[in-house]
Structure formats: structure tokens, C-alpha cells
Amino acid sequence: MCKFLRTKLLPGLMLAGFALPVAVQAETYNLTVDPVTIDTGEFSRSGIGYNGASPGPVLRFKEGEDVTINVTNNLDTTTSVHWHGLILPYKMDGVPTISYDGIAPGETFTYKFPIVQTGTYWFHSHSGFQEPDGAYGAIVIEPKGREPFRYDREYVVQLTDAHPHSGGRIMRNLKTMADYYNRKQQTVGEFFSDVKKDGFDATVTERMNWGEMRMMPTDVEDLQGFTPLINGKGPSQNWTGLFEPGERVRLRFINSSAMTYFDVRIPGLQMTVVQSDGNNVRPVKVDEFRIAVAETYDVIVRPKEDKAFTIFAESMGRTAYARGTLAPREGMTAAVPELRERPLLSMSDMPMNHAGMDHASMAGMSDSNMKGMDHSNMKGMDHSKMGAMMKQADPFYAKGSGLLPKAANGGKFLSYADLKAQKPLYKHRPATREVEIRITGNMERYIWSLNDVKYGDAEPIRLKLGERVRFKFVNETMMTHPMHLHGMWSILDNGSKKWNPIKHVVSVSPGTTVYMETEVDAPGQWAFHCHLSYHAAAGMFRKVIVEGGEKSAALKSVQ
């Protein structure tokens, strides 16, 4: 029987003055893609949503069920829906030109696929800039059996970076002037402060080095001027979730931003991380964590006092913050922290030791082409000879002065190295081959690429069904990139061997090398891209084709 998605107040999804729309438990679901108005409390603008709202409904599935989802396009342009992180047949993946043609205006497309996993995921448009314009929603998949951890109620906490400009306008502005939205550039006053601290010669040399590279130490975020939202609510609108003191509350964090990494903390409460990208991990107690664009983290908190607590998510560039509240009663609030000091990139963030280097002595690189280099244009370098110039010690967060995250008040900050799978999904075995993916680009021209080739000029990455591929990500840029492979799990190599965590997004910091492995068990055509919307649109995107062969016995789940 077909049932329409409707707003329904469920235990664990009761919000102070706000009811998050939730799908009823049924095998058939209906979604409409609609023009909507997005009100952030700071500005209102037209956007795109699902079932008349942005964010769209929380779709709740059960492990083992077969779902049918009818998506009707009420826009005047083609749309699509991608089920981010879900394992499904490639024709149901929702990526125009790769898995299907998209959904034409006025048309309905029916998705049908089995639910073979559990956890927290999300869905969004994969057409143009509809996702940054509001076309996103959450997915919660309940397991057949019991969870390996206890909680009394739960909330989805879906983050995004709403901007007063449309996605198309943002892209045009970035292509015209790459630093168009960089509103935190260094000032003359800071120059004199640096002279006092470091001396005139050192300060001038540092400024000249950045100038030669056509970049700035404030290039941490491409996009500023946004209002962060929690479940569609801006900081002044204060999304609120209720609890009874002593309860264990599960918070399902989803970063649905176009471009923004968030550092998340709840002052006064320690968080226990129990899932990463929908997969159970051994519990890790932390005071703060960084959530990359498109990642999900499930945490459990246990507020014991009869008082309110602030959910505080500040952007990695410290230019804005999302704010919500956990409270025993409606109307209660807690103190909102101040934004911390703005981070600055340093020469130690570079993928090579640029500071003090004689450019003319660099093989394949003269002063003239150094001036055209920005955010990775290092053609001519033999990467096999870079050796210690690529940072390897802890590749999950940059080690430079600007991006090394530190928890407030000296607490515990989550690292990728802390994540260990609670139960391995695959048997641990050696990879059959390695594929190197250099993350490249030119910030001055706002061109982003993989292996120095934009998507429109690139050949597909071809994999064989049954092999285990080791991907080597070499980030030659000065920005952090969340890399997302559709259709197959990404096994992050953080040194835990068979306990390496299973993810669908792997974040790669500036100047670092990160490895992930993939059991190639899904035939068809898949998308692979940076999940920063404007980087993907500018060329940091590939098609992956999985060809032939028979499934290996090694692909079976560990019993």
C-alpha cells in the first residue's frame, strides 16, 4: 500500500516548537521536489526542497525491506535524487549522465532498491546547484536486531551552510574572482603586528611568497557570508531538542553543506562517538569533532542536570556558527560560545617545504611558473622524489599552524586515527593494485581537478569486479577535500588493519597523503568526486566503471 510522507511527531523526534517531518514506516514513499522559501532568521530566499520544505523529510527505513520511492519533479528544470552512502544498484543511484538521465519537469521517477545496511545517511539532488539551494534531507535506517549501544531518544542534527546567493551565482562569482567570498583577508594592521613579532624582513618575505603563489593564508574556506543551519534553523531560531535528565540521547549529525567543514562541541557534555558514516565504531569519548562535508557521525550524550546545553558547530574557518539547544523544557537556553580565533595557513601546510626555498633550484619549476601556481599546480615535479616533503605522520588533519584542530579547554578532539570498526565488513586481504589520485587545481582560475585533468577531459577510472583496489590520495593543494565514492564502501587505512573503519567520505587535508581501499563488489557506472559542490562542478569529478568478472569469495562479510 502506498502512503504519502507526512509530518508526524514521533518519540525521539519531538522538538521545541518544531516538528521535523518524518516518513511513516511503509514500503512505498512519495517525494515531491518543490520551489520553497528558505528562512534562516538572517535572510530569506527562494530555494528548492522536498515535500514543500528544506530540509526535506527524514526517511526512515528498516534493514532488509525493499523500498519504492516515487519522486515527482515540480520544478521547471530537470532534477535528481542521490541516496548518499546507500549501497544499491547503480541505475538507482540518481546521478544524471552516469546512472540515468534525471527527472524531467512534471515527471515522476520510481526508485526501487533493497535496504542492506543500517545507520545515518542523507539524500540530495545531484543536478546543478540544487543541493546548495536546499534540496537535501536525512535518512535513518533501523537495524533488524538491537543496536550495540543504548539510548533513550534520538535526534537528527542536519547541518548546512545556507547562503543568500544562489548556487549558480556563487559559481559565477568564484570563476570571475576566486577570492570573491574571502571576507577575512589579512589587513595592514596585521602586517605591522607581524613585523613587531617576526621582524620586517621575515614578514615581507612571507607576504611575497604567498603573493608569488597567487594565494593567501586565509584561503581556508572558499565560501563565506553564509548562515549555518541546524535542521533548517539559523542560530537566532535555535533548533531545540528535549530530554529528561539522565537520559542517553543519540544525536545523528549530518553535514549537508555545500562547502563548510564544522567543528562540533556541546559545552558541558562529553560525546561518545558510536557511528561514522552509518557504520558502528568502537565507542570513543570526545569533547569535539570535525565533520567533513557529506560525513555523518552518531554520538551519544547523557545530560544529567536539569539545565540547557548548547550544540555549537563553528566553521573550520571560524567565520560563522550553527547553534541549537538540548533542554529539559521548551524555551530554555544556554550560553553560546564566541567564535575562536581565525586560523591561517602556513608554509608548513604546503605539500613541500616552500618556505625559504630557492625556486630556481626546483626541478621542472622556474620562477615564472611558480607565479602561476596556486593550490597545487605542481606539474613537472617527480612525486616519487618528494619523500619527506609529503606529510605522512598523521594524514587525517593538517599539521600546519592553521588547520590542526584543538578542542576547547584542552579536551579530546576526534581524529580519524581514533576510529575502529566494531565488526569488520570484509575480510582483511592485500589490495590487488594501487591507484594514485592526485588532488590538484588552480585557485586563481578556480579550476579543480584530479591528476591535473578536469572531469570533461578525463577518461573514466576502470575497475574489475572482485578486485580490491588501494587508492592513494595525494593532496597537492592548500585546501581540505572530502572525497566520495558512490556505490561501494571506502575502507580508510588508519593503521587499524582489519579494524580499519568503513566510510563513504574520506577527508584529505592540505599537503597530506591518505590511503583507502575498496572491495569492488558493485558492477555498473559510479560517480567519484570531491563533495565540495563548487570543486566538483569545476572539474574535481570522475566516472568509475566497474567491469566484468565474478564476485570473489573474499567479498563475503565476515561471519
| pLDDT, tens only, 477-533 | 888 999 999 999 999 999 999 999 999 999 999 889 999 999 999 999 999 999 999
Task: With cut-offs at 50, 70 and 90, classify the pLDDT of residue 408.
Answer: confident
| CA 91 to chain centroid | 24
Residues with Cβ within 8 Å of residue 39, at least 6 apart in sequence: none
172 sits in which H/E element: helix 167-176
pLDDT in tens, 198-238: 677 654 555 455 454 445 555 568 889 999 999 999 999 99
Domains 14-149 and 417-555 share a fold: yes
**Is a pLDDT exceeding 90 seen at residue 315?**
yes
Statement: 417-555 belongs to CATH 2.60.40.420: yes
In three-state form (DSSP H/G/I as H, E/B as E, the rest C), the secondary structure along 370-383 is HHCCCCCCCCCCCH
* Average of per-residue pLDDT values in the chain: 83
Contact criterion met (CB below 8 Å) for 461 and 424: no
Phi-psi region of 128 (alpha: psi -120 to 50; beta: other; left: phi over 0): left
Q: What is the mean pLDDT of residues 452-476?
A: 97
Q: What is the pLDDT of residue 394?
A: 44
Q: What are phi and psi of 337, to 5 degrees?
A: -65, 160
Q: What is the pLDDT of residue 443?
A: 78
**Is a pLDDT exceeding 50 seen at residue 301?**
yes
- Rounded CA separation 179/215 (Å): 9
What stretches of 207-307 adopt beta strand conformation (E)? Answer: 227-230, 239-242, 249-255, 262-265, 271-276, 279-286, 289-291, 296-301
- Rounded CA separation 205/210 (Å): 9
Task: With cut-offs at 50, 70 and 90, classify the pLDDT of residue 111.
Answer: very high
**Is a pLDDT exceeding 60 seen at residue 148?**
yes
**Is a pLDDT exceeding 70 seen at residue 303?**
yes
Q: What is the pLDDT of residue 177?
A: 81
Domain ranges of the chain: 14-149, 417-555
pLDDT in tens, 332-381: 999 999 999 877 665 555 554 333 333 222 222 233 333 333 333 333 33
**Is a pLDDT exceeding 80 seen at residue 399?**
no
Residue 164, preceding peptide bond in cis (omega within 30° of 0): no
pLDDT > 70: percent of the chain:
76
**Is a pLDDT exceeding 50 seen at residue 13?**
no
Q: What is the pLDDT of residue 557?
A: 38
Residues with Cβ within 8 Å of residue 431, at least 6 apart in sequence: 468, 469, 470, 517
Q: Which has the minimum average pLDDT: 19-33, 70-84, 450-464, 514-528?
A: 19-33
167 sits in which H/E element: helix 167-176
The grid coordinates of residue 31 equal: 517525494
pLDDT in tens, 420-452: 999 999 998 999 999 999 999 987 789 999 999
**Is a pLDDT exceeding 80 seen at residue 190?**
no
pTM given for the model: 0.83
Q: What is the mean pLDDT of residues 109-137?
A: 98
DSSP reduced 3-state for 491 = strand
Q: What is the pLDDT of residue 178?
A: 72
- The listed CATH number (2.30.30.180, 2.60.120.960, 3.90.1150.10, 2.60.40.420) that belongs to domain 14-149: 2.60.40.420
Give exposure, 276-287, as e/b (b: 16+ Cβ within 10 Å).
bbbbbbbebebb
**Is a pLDDT exceeding 80 seen at residue 186?**
no
Angle at 29 between CA 25 and CA 32, to 5 degrees: 135
Closest of 473, 466, 470, 459 to residue 431, by C-alpha: 470
**Is a pLDDT exceeding 80 seen at residue 84?**
yes
Q: What is the pLDDT of residue 346?
A: 57
In three-state form (DSSP H/G/I as H, E/B as E, the rest C), the secondary structure along 2-70 is ECCCECCCCCCCEECCEECCECCCCCEEEEEEEEEEEECCCCEEEEEEECCECCCCEEEEECCCEEEEE
Closest of 10, 47, 38, 46 to residue 153, by C-alpha: 10
Q: How many CB atoms lie within 10 A of CB 392?
A: 10
**Is a pLDDT exceeding 50 seen at residue 187?**
no
Q: What is the pLDDT of residue 208?
A: 52
Q: What is the pLDDT of residue 345?
A: 62
Contact criterion met (CB below 8 Å) for 526 and 548: no
- C-alpha dist (Å) from residue 137 to 23, 53, 153: 11, 10, 20
The grid coordinates of residue 107 equal: 515527471
- C-alpha dist (Å) from residue 101 to 29, 79, 95, 354, 424: 21, 9, 8, 46, 36
**Is a pLDDT exceeding 50 seen at residue 12?**
no
